[in-house]
Structure 1
Amino acid sequence: MISTFHYISQGSAPADHLNNILAACEAGCKWIQLRIKNDTPQNILPVAEAAKAVCDRYQASLIINDYPHIAVAVNAAGVHVGKNDMTVAAARAITGTSMIVGGTANTVEDIRNHVTDGANYVGVGPFRFTTTKENLSPILGLGGYMRIMQELDKLRLPIPVIAIGGILLEDIPALMQTGIHGIAASGLVTSAPDKQVLVKELYTLTQKPLTWNH
């Protein structure tokens, strides 16, 4: 089951990532993605092991960004591959069939490729400009998600879509109305003064809207 809220780790050093993951788990996050860029697999492996121990303690699912071999080594719930990294199919070849594999997408074409490759969900964005990501894809905004979800409906491509990229609390109700599955965020949780209240609110807001308005 793909969670309706994904916390993406951030930090300038491995210890920051772990502290932020611990704080997110303590606040009630049940889906954590360890996302460390510009480092070696050798350096990321021990951080992934420590993150897995934290997630296990709080019964949260751990997803490893970009490194399927590490996901397998630490027995994570899955792996997420970026738009300019390996394909979902290549990741799936390493993880086997039982692990969750997600992929980053910006267009319907990206999503179609991921579905063909056997993705379990897609992270689609960015919603608005965000400093967390280098080489940002074209910004989608609310209209972009509406168009993408309508197109997926037409193509009969049912895959959980997770919106990502600078999403604020007040954006979520309208985003959920487009038919997306949920949202992902990092700074929203990391910088929250009361993380527990925020996380509870995030899960409430990402509950599926009632079907009568469709």
Structure 2
Amino acid sequence: MTISTLHYISQQTAAADHIANIQAACDAGCNWVQLRIKNSTPEAVLPAAIAARKICEQYNATLIINDYPHIAKAVGAHGVHVGKNDMTVAAARAITGPGMIVGGTANTLEDILQHVKDNASYVGLGPYRFTTTKQKLSPTLGLEGIAGILRQLAIQGITIPVVAIGGILQEDIAALLAAGAHGVAVSGLITHAAHKQQVVKSIFETKQTL
């Protein structure tokens, strides 16, 4: 199982819904999509998950469903991602079975160690800086905080892929990857980009040059 170095987190904007934004991100070259519809019901998320699955299939992209392991399983998504205040990775894995990708959000080294114990496939570490796409934001970590946690993991010989998340801009990415992050998870950076393809290409190239 390969964890991409670029995770696109879906969002709804005034101009487009989650599905239209996922289509645009895949068009631009994103190969990993997380459908993240907060404050909703399973009944409302299910049709969006089915539509997202169809798009990801066309582009051979990995589809992760945020928060709804039953839906991820029902629509044949590749995995599920659980937030810090949602269910545990272990609880999600109990629903999805051993074959699915299960990611978890972390804000501290302790969070990551728990996710590793719970058999997570990868960890989303953040927030890097303040972001409006998330309510109940954990303390922001900045480059120093994320780099410090990555150093601790290296010292302990823990190699789980860590993806930095939270208000990340294009100019932040090289330093995060150089600090040891496996990749980055972004939303607005791609959703609001005038030239999405250029942004996606540049992120993948940044990873290759390190």
TM range (shorter): over 0.9
Shift of residue 12 of structure 1? 5.2
Q: Name stretches of at least 5 consecutive residues in structure 2 with no aligned partner.
A: none
Pairwise mapping of residues 1-80 of structure 1 onto structure 2 (< 5 A)? 1-11=2-12, 16-80=17-81
The TM-score normalised by the length of structure 2 is 0.97
Tell me if the contact between 1:181 and 1:208 (Cα under 8 Å) persists in the aligned partners.
no
Pairwise mapping of residues 136-175 of structure 1 onto structure 2 (< 5 A)? 136-175=137-176
For residue 212 of structure 1, what is the aligned residue in structure 2?
A: none
Cα offsets for 1:42-65 (capped at 9, x unmatched): 110011000000010111110000
Pairwise mapping of residues 193-204 of structure 1 onto structure 2 (< 5 A)? 193-204=194-205
The alignment of Structure 1 onto Structure 2 pairs a total of residues equal to 208
**Aligned-pair Cα RMSD in Å:** 1.1
Shift of residue 154 of structure 1? 1.5
For residue 117 of structure 2, what is the aligned residue in structure 1?
A: 116
Residue identity over aligned pairs, in percent, reads: 64
Q: Distance in 2 between matches of 1:141 and 1:206?
A: 19
The structure-2 alpha-carbon separation of the partners of 1:180 and 1:189, relative to structure 1 and needing over 3 Å to count, comes to same
Q: Where has structure 1 moved over 6 Å in runs of 4 or more? A: none
Cα offsets for 1:9-68 (capped at 9, x unmatched): 00059x600000000001110000000001100110011000000010111110000000
Deviates more, 1:4-13 or 1:145-154: 4-13
Secondary structure in 1 aligned to 2:37? coil
Q: Name stretches of at least 5 consecutive residues in structure 1 with no aligned partner.
A: 210-214
Shift of residue 208 of structure 1? 6.8
The TM-score normalised by the length of structure 1 is 0.95
Shift of residue 99 of structure 1? 0.4
2:67 corresponds to which letter in structure 1? D
Shift of residue 153 of structure 1? 1.1
